[in-house]
Structure 1
Amino acid sequence: MSQPLADRLITTLVVEDDVATRRALCLGIAKEPALKLLAALDCVKSAQDWLLHQPVDVLLVDLGLPDGSGIDIIRFCVDRHPACNIMVITTSSDQENVLNSIEAGASGYVLKDTGSLDIGRSLLELHAGGAPMSPVIARKVLARIRDGKKTNGAVRAENASGDGQVFLTRREATILDLIARGDSYGEVARELVLSVGTVQTHIKNIYDKLSVHSRGAAVYEANRRGLLQMDQLKSRP
């Protein structure tokens, strides 16, 4: 079931070079009343030119484009419009592409061959603070986090001499772990008995401390610094 129509439509930009896929994505977005498609583009240059002149709420971008990588568009969008929520849609499940996309600023990563993908619902989830990911991608991210935990000592030593120490409050650390688990802002608020506004304030403080601009980049940077404690979280029923 679609979410209720908000006071303002959620503006959306699609960057996909395959004509059939681009048409299917546009049709999926058109079916969702809360979304408004502003443009559907097919290359890095046209996307950067478009983003140079106007903002957008949600960016849906492919990685393999004729004139470069969608990751360049992600970085450009984060720099120009840090409030934009970004989701990758691609055929690549390569771990390097996944991690590079997240580090650049993507908060969602879905594969084109996911048969049950509802693009409208995924974009609404992304805009609401969620992190839509195909199951195989989520496994890769979790595997990377587990691998990183095995070398926490080395990561902390590197940060002590290079990046500087980052100190999170207990509340910020808990919220960071929950959003790394994939919880939306609303789910975090309910679990911690806080308002969504308070959660967003904490997340802004986390972003500032980690010098990032998106959920995905915060999780990536926190994992790199050895700040995640996800093994202490109780699994959702």
Structure 2
Amino acid sequence: MEEILIVDDDQAVRHRLERVAAQAAPQARCAMAGTLAEAREQLARGHFDLALLDVGLPDGSGLDLLPWMQTHAPDVDAVVVSSLGDDATVLQAIRGGAVGYLLKNGSDMELELSLGSMQRGGAPIDPVIARRILKLMAAPQPAAALATIDAAPAPAAATAELSEREMDVLRLVAQGHSNREIARSLSLSINTVECHAKNIYRKLAVRSRAGAVYSARAHGLLP
């Protein structure tokens, strides 16, 4: 996480996130963009590791940048940092490829710790949002939604078989445990857990913990 693009139309917020990023990753260098157009231009010509995206921008939603990044900047992790935290917006961000979702009303320390977790393979998701997402995943699906899931062919990457140990890790992820807690529970090193997590993401064709849980439930790997 050495090159970070901060996309927000509020100058004060941009400077705040720059300070937070400097605390989370002292070697990081930040560039700024205030619109979707500026963000695309920066991403097209730069080599970024992370983009921090606001949702409400003058020329559209920051979520609209996510599918563009999947094609034009696939190696750049995207974390949404917004004042919006409704379920529909959060799920759209995760399905669009965001690896994390943070709320602007969190303290600087909370944001710093969340971003710092990325260097250990974590997914920076606000705890309040993470709890709501897990409840959504656990809720019974409407019959129409289940029929759609059953009828739709699963993506090839998501049908790859998970190993027994990967399933152990996935179950604990679904319960909301951190990588460190999973390591203790399974008597593994945290590096091994992070390796299993990366394999799970790859096999399920996702880029975040919440995305892995959602995909696993959709494909019947989790109840």
Q: Same fold (TM over 0.5)?
A: yes
Give 1:35-184 correspondences, 5 Å limit.
35-115=27-107, 117-147=109-139, 150-151=140-141, 158-164=148-154, 166=159, 167-184=161-178
Q: Which residue type is aligned with residue 133 of structure 1?
A: I
Question: Higher helix share goes to which structure?
Answer: 2
How far off is 1:201 after superposition? Answer: 4.2
Deviations 1:61-93 (A, max 9, x none): 111111111112223334444444332111111
Cα contact 2:121–2:194 (8 A) shared by 1: no
Runs of at least 5 residues in structure 1 that lack an aligned partner in the other structure: 1-8, 230-237
Q: Which runs of 4+ in 1 moved over 6 A?
A: 152-156
User: Cα distance 1:208–1:125, how it changes in 2: closer, same or farther (>3 A)?
Assistant: closer
Structure 1 residue 42, shift from structure 2 partner: 0.9
Given residue 98 of structure 2, which amino acid in structure 1 is its aligned partner? Answer: A
The residue aligned with 1:223 is: 217
Q: Provide the secondary structure at the position in 1 that maps to 2:28.
A: strand
AA partner of residue 114 (structure 1): G
Partner Cα distance (1:177, 1:76) in 2: 31
Deviation, 1:108, is: 2.0
Gap runs ≥5 in structure 2: none
Work out whether residues 106 and 216 of structure 1, in 8 Å CA contact, stay in contact via their aligned partners in 2. no
Kindly tell me: are residues 226 and 123 of structure 1, through their superposed partners in 2, closer, same or farther at Cα, counting changes over 3 Å? Answer: same
Q: 2:185 aligned with 1:188, yes or no?
A: no
The superposition leaves residues 96-141 of structure 1 with CA deviations (integer Å, 9 ceiling, x where unpaired) of: 0010111112222221122465433221113322233334312321
| Contact kept? 2:50, 2:76, Cα under 8 Å | yes
C-alpha spacing 1:95/1:46, structure 2 compared with 1 (3 Å) = same
In angstroms, what is the RMSD of aligned CA positions? 2.9
Give, in whole Å, the separation in 1 of the partners of 2:177 and 2:75. 19
Distance in 2, Cα, partners of 1:208 & 1:56? 21
Cα distance, 1:192 vs structure 2: 2.3
Structure 1 length-normalised TM: 0.76
* Contact residue 44 and residue 73 of structure 2 kept, 8 A: no
- Any residues of structure 2 matched to 1:16-35 within 5 Å, and which? 16-32=8-24, 34-35=26-27
Q: State the distance in 1 between where 2:173 and 2:78 align.
A: 16
Query: How far apart are residue 152 of structure 1 and its match?
Result: 8.8
Residues 53 and 118 of structure 1: CA distance in aligned 2, closer, same or farther (over 3 Å): same
